[in-house]
Amino acid sequence: MVRQIPLGQPTVGQEELDAVKAVFDSGWLSGAGPSCKAFEEEFAAAIGVPKALSTSNCGSALHLGLMVSGVKPGDEVIVADYTFPATGHSVKWAGATPVFADVREDIWTIDPAAAEASITDKTVGIIAVDAFGQPADYDELNAIATKHGLWVMEDAACAAGATYKGKPAGNLADIAAFSFHGRKGITAGEGGALTSSNPELIEHARKLHTYGIAPALTREGSMDLPVPSFDELGYNYRMSDIAAGIMRVQLKRMPALMAARNRAADQYHELISDIEGLTIPAALADRTHPYQSYVLTFDPSIDRGAVAMALRENGVGCNFGTYASHLQPLYKSNAVCEVSASLFGRQLAIPMHAELSEDDVSYVAETLRTVMATAAVRNA
C-alpha cells in the first residue's frame, strides 16, 4: 500500500469537540451569538486591534470591507494579481472593477511600483494579498495610498499568526480579511474575520453582516419588545456559534501550530534546496511566515504536471500554487502581469500542515528528489 501524505490536514481534537458541546449546551447555535462575541474579542486582542468581526468566510469579509470603505459601481480597486479569485470577486460583488497589478518575483506579493502605476482617477483603494501567509510590503503600500488619497485592504486569508516588522497581520492596513478554511493555519472548516484599527468600520460591517440590522444578541434580555427597522441593504455573512467555539480553541493552538509548520518548512529547506530545477519559497527576515502552504517554483525546463502526477502516484499530495487572476475569463482583463502569469504556470504546493512528522517531510523530500531526477519530468 502506497504511503499517503495529504497536502493539508487540520489539527483538531477533544478540545474542539468539548467546545462544540459547550455551544450545544448553551442553546445558541446560530450566528453572531455569545461564542462569536467571545471569539471576536480574543481574536482582536491577538491581532492588536480594538474590534474584530467574525464572518461566514473570507470572501464575505472582503466584501464587507469594501462596502464599509465606500466602494461603489464605477470605482476601480487595484488587486494583487497572484491570488485565489475571491479577492477579485469581492470587488465585482461591490459593483467595482478589479485592476490587477503584478507581484514580486521573490515573495509573490503585490509589487508596490506596479500598484502605483495602476492608479487612475477612478482608483479608490488597493487590496494587497499576503501570499501563502507572508505579508506584503505595507510600509510602501500605505505610503502610496496616503500620497494618492486611497485606502489599503489586507487580504490576510492565509496570514493568521504572521507578522510584518513585528506587527501582526490584520493590523497592517486600514482593514483586513481572514480565512478559516480547512487548509488555513487555524480553522473551523470554514469561516472568516474582518479586523481594523478603526472600530467604526467594524461596527458598520457588523450591521451589514446581519441583513442591515444589529445582531439579535444585542436585544437579548431586553425588558421591552425592540423591533429593528431596515434602513440599509445587508447580507447574511455571520459565522455560526458552533464555528466560533472551534475557533476559540484554534486561536489558543495558533502558536504551537505555527511552530510546527515552521519546523516542517525548515526541514524542507534543508532537504530539497539543492534539487536542480526548483526554487524553495523565500522568507524575508523582517516578517514572520506562517507557511499556510509550502510552494515550489520550477524552472521552465520542468514539466510541472508530470511532477504532480508522479508525486500523487507515490502518495504525496500536491496542487498548483494559486491563480494569475488577470488570465481568468471572468475578468476579461487587459492587464499585463508577467511575473504572476509565469508563477501560475510553474508553481506547485507540497504537503504543509502542523501534523507533518519529520519522517513525513523526509518521505516527501526523498520522493520529490527521485521524481526530479527522472527524464519524464523534463520538457522536450
Catalytic residue list: 184
Question: How far lies 241's CA from each of 38, 42, 55, 155, 236, in Å?
Answer: 10, 14, 11, 24, 14
154: closest CA among 13, 41, 346, 287? 287
Spatial separation of the C-alpha atoms in residues 129 and 103, rounded to whole Å? 10
Q: What is the DSSP letter of 282?
A: P
Question: How far lies 185's CA from each of 18, 250, 282, 339, 370, in Å?
Answer: 20, 9, 19, 26, 29
Residues with Cβ within 8 Å of 16's Cβ and at least 6 positions away in sequence, in order, are 245, 246, 249, 250
Which grid cell sits at 376? 519524464
What 3-state DSSP class applies to 190? coil
Spatial separation of the C-alpha atoms in residues 223 and 203, rounded to whole Å? 24
Spatial separation of the C-alpha atoms in residues 253 and 14, rounded to whole Å? 13
Spatial separation of the C-alpha atoms in residues 97 and 75, rounded to whole Å? 6
Displacement of CA 180 from its chain's centroid (Å): 8
Q: What is the DSSP letter of 189?
A: B
Q: In terms of DSSP H, where are the helices of 27-177?
A: 34-47, 58-68, 86-93, 112-117, 138-148
